[in-house]
Amino acid sequence: MESGAENLNAIATWAISLMETLGGMGAGLAIALENLFPPLPSEIILPLAGFTAAKGTLGLVEVLIWTTLGSVIGALALYGIGAWLGRRRMYAIVERLPLIKAADVERTEAWFDKHGSKAVFFGRMIPIFRSLISIPAGIERMPLLRFTLLTTAGSAIWNTIFVLAGFFLGANWHVVEEYAGIFQKVVIAVVVIAVAVWIFIRVRQVRRNRVAVD
């Protein structure tokens, strides 16, 4: 518990220093970095930015604009990484990975072609996936304008919820992080279970194929 509190205080201190030095731009920079380095939690930075606005140090609208801009910039950087990686490199990597088949990637691509817009929009409001969703969007070369608009809309909703929570909670802004932390743990648990089930099924298929060949 002490380690968690220390991490919270360290991130809060860093974010406050950034906002005091750069103003709204500092809040935007913090969120841009959070997109690139998910261990920096937006669930702390955004409520803290709202609390800072409540004190009158920053304007509320200013905070919302800058944090949303930071989210979009961070997402575009990851989109660029995905675009650089491309389908050819992605398939070259997949061929070297155990248990993963090209057919799995093809199905994923087909799913993204059909649901990519929803994935980008709603993905901006799900911990962990907030950053990761930009990479497949880049790999699949989703039209940049559409990606930017969807990212802006999804980020604006997510950021507004957390900034306003910090704004109205005031000195108790850190309460938001506790509830957001529970949500994040649920998401991680679901992902871990899904991956474990997928690995189990794939290993069983591999064993059955070996038995059939023998």
Percentage of residues in the chain with pLDDT exceeding 90?
Answer: 14
The residues spanned by each domain of the chain are 2-188
Percentage of residues in the chain with pLDDT exceeding 70?
Answer: 64
CA angle (177 as vertex; 80, 67 as ends), nearest 5 = 40
Checking if the pLDDT of 208 tops 80, the result is no
The Cα–Cα gap between 18 and 15 comes to: 5
pLDDT in tens, 108-131: 677 787 888 888 898 888 777 777
Contact 150, 213 (CB under 8 A): no
- Averaged pLDDT for residues 191-196: 60
pTM above 0.95, yes or no: no
pLDDT in tens, 60-81: 898 899 999 999 999 999 899 8
- Averaged pLDDT for residues 171-182: 59
